[in-house]
Amino acid sequence: MQIDQRQTATAKSVTATDTDIVKLKQSDFAIASHYLAAAFSQDPLMTHFLPEDEAAKQTALKQLSQALLNYAQIYSHIYTTVDNPKGVAIWLPPDASQVTLLQLGQVMTSGLLTLPFYMRWERMIDFISFIATEIRLHNKVSPEPQWCLAMLGVSPEYQGQGIGGRLLQPVLQAADRTKTPCYLETSTAAAVRFYQRHGFEIVDQGLFANREYWAMKRNPQG
């Protein structure tokens, strides 16, 4: 398993072609979670499970983002922009699907287990049902080892500048070199079009709580 929990004092460039994309430092997790929360505040499926009160919804989204960042840091594939975090891509590598004691410990300490306390209690059964649906769908359409995009978000004030596409590149390039597919799920048509421009294809489409969602896969290219 690839593990690197050390956070360097200065960010290092991760590719020769995208020198403005670097590994996210742990000291920037707070601002990164803020940007991710802002980026997902209008997501139709995610917000279905969250409180209607705007402040409570933002708190829940920040908690979710922070927990994912905490969990994913052991794999060291969280990317952002070089000067300051304008957006964040959280990737889980193929070996993340292997259940280990370290992984279980990271689940316990990351904050993932507290997420239900930030959601709408009357929709908790819905949430559990959706997670089970996602797992079944993932196993059906992409059972092989793969890179999984857990979360990608760009701060609203920086959207439309190509940052999201550049944040994908380190892993897309690595996936092409190792002939490994990439997988993600999204719940907006605009995101579908964005990912299609970067080589992803729709492999399944579903409806949950009258909200559409798509599973997408990118096979190795080049």
Assess if residue 12 is contained within a domain: no
Assess if residue 218 is contained within a domain: no
pLDDT at 171: 98
Assess if residue 189 is contained within a domain: no
Assess if residue 8 is contained within a domain: no
pLDDT at 105: 53
- Structure token pair of residue 57: 């919804």
- Which residues make Cβ contacts (< 8 Å) with residue 59, sequence separation at least 6? 118
Q: Is the pLDDT of residue 16 over 50?
A: no
pLDDT at 47: 84
Assess if residue 220 is contained within a domain: no
- Structure token pair of residue 182: 């990439």
- For the chain, what percent of residues have pLDDT higher than 90? 43
Strand order in the sheet with 21-23: 21-23, 78-81, 87-92, 147-154, 182-186, 211-218, 201-208
Q: What is the pLDDT of residues 60-107, one digit of tens each?
A: 889 889 989 998 998 999 999 997 889 999 999 998 865 554 555 555
For residues 10-16, average pLDDT: 35
Of the two residues 3 and 220, the one the predictor is more confident about is: 220
φ, ψ for residue 191, nearest 5 deg = -65, -40
On whether the CB atoms of residues 133 and 206 are closer than 8 A, the answer is yes
Q: How confident is the model at residue 110 (pLDDT cuts 50, 70, 90)?
A: low
Q: For residue 91, what is the domain's CATH number?
A: 3.40.630
Assess if residue 13 is contained within a domain: no
- Give the position of tokens 């605009």: 190
Q: Which amino acid is at 11?
A: A
Of the two residues 211 and 6, the one the predictor is more confident about is: 211
Domain that holds residue 40: 21-182
Q: Is the pLDDT of residue 41 over 60?
A: yes
pLDDT at 138: 81
Of the two residues 111 and 53, the one the predictor is more confident about is: 53
For residues 20-46, average pLDDT: 90
Strand residue runs (E) in 16-105: 21-23, 78-81, 87-92
Q: Number of structural domains, the chain?
A: 1
Q: Is the pLDDT of residue 113 over 70?
A: no
Q: What is the pLDDT of residues 127-164, one digit of tens each?
A: 777 778 787 888 888 888 999 999 999 988 898 999 99
Assess if residue 207 is contained within a domain: no
Assess if residue 37 is contained within a domain: yes
